[in-house]
Amino acid sequence: MTESLFFFFASLTLLCAIMVVISKNPVFSVIFLILTFFTISAHYILLNAQFLAAVNIIVYAGAIMVLFLFVLMFINTGKNVEGTLKRNVLVKIAGTVAGGLLFTVVVAALKDVTLGNPDPATYDSQVGMVENLGKVLFTKYMLPFQLVAVLFLVSMVGAVMIGKRETGEQNF
């Protein structure tokens, strides 16, 4: 059951990811990217990491991709995409070289990978649950977590400050 689900979602993820690249219309690319996030979240759920799945959807699908869509909707897409992208030989060569390099890096990185084989006797299936995640975050990774929290607070305060009216500025 889980295995067939995994293969289903994995193939769906790959399909969506490919569609992101080959879609002509950028808006469709974004929608397929959102679908990709969904299938990745499905993988997280299969791994019993519900928190990660939810946060993945909230942060990536719910916030970041909305901003992507924002930008794409304002720039004039659909028209003249073919014209602006110069398909000359130089671009093709650059694309091939970059793709080949990426492929090499991926192969080199995956060459020495040993798949983690958890011991079924000691393996805790609840490791991805919120409680365990929270415990780890608030003990082992306390300092990085706090630093990230401060970073977020600063950015939020910054956003509020940008929204504040300057003295002398007149809106309406």
Partner 1 sequence: MDSVLLIYKGIYILAIFGISLLIATYSTYFERKIAAFIQDRVGPNRAGPMGLLQPLADAGKLFFKEEFIPAKANKMLFILGPGIAMLVAAMSSAVIPFGDTLIIGETSFDLIAIDVNIGILYIFGVVSLGVYGLMIGGWASNNKFSLLGAIRAASQNISYELAMGLSLIAVLMLSGSLSLKVIAEQQTGFNWNIWYQPLGFLIFLICAFAETNRTPFDLPESEAELIGGYHTEYSSMKLGMYLFAEYINIFVVSAVMSTLYFGAYNFPFMENLRNAFDDPVLGNNVVTIIGVAVMFAKIFAFIFFFMWVRWTLPRFRYDQLMKLGWNILIPLAILNILLTGGGILLYEYFTNG
Sign of the Cα torsion 27, 39, 54, 158 reads negative
* The one among 6, 62, 137, 145 contacting partner 1 by CB under 8 A: 62
Tokens 């970059």, located at residue: 98
Asked whether 32 and 16 are in contact (CB, 8 A), the reply is yes
Q: What are phi and psi of 151, to 5 degrees?
A: -60, -45
Interatomic CA distance for residues 23 and 38, integer angstroms? 18
Interface with partner 1, residue 66, by CB under 8 A: yes
Stretch that binds partner 1, among 12-20, 79-87, 94-102, 155-163 (CB under 8 A): 155-163
- Contacting partner 1 within 108-147 (CB under 8 A): 129-131
Q: Choose the stretch contacting partner 1; rule: CB under 8 A; options: 8-16, 24-32, 83-91, 99-107.
A: 24-32
Triad 154, 158, 159: Cα angle to 5°: 120
Site stretch for partner 1 (CB under 8 A), options 58-66, 81-89, 94-102, 139-147: 58-66
Taking CB under 8 A as the rule, does residue 15 contact partner 1?
A: no
- 27 sits near partner 1 (criterion: CB under 8 A): yes
Give CA–CA dist 86/93, Å, rounded.
13
Region near partner 1 per CB under 8 A, out of 80-88, 94-102, 138-146, 160-168:
160-168
Q: Is 73 in the site for partner 1 (CB under 8 A)?
A: yes
| Sole residue written with tokens 């942060």 | 59
Helix (H, G, I), strand (E, B) or coil at 132: helix
Residues near partner 1 (CB under 8 A) are 25, 27, 31, 34, 50-51, 53-55, 57-58, 61-63, 66, 69-70, 73-74, 129-131, 153, 156, 159-160, 163-164, 171-172
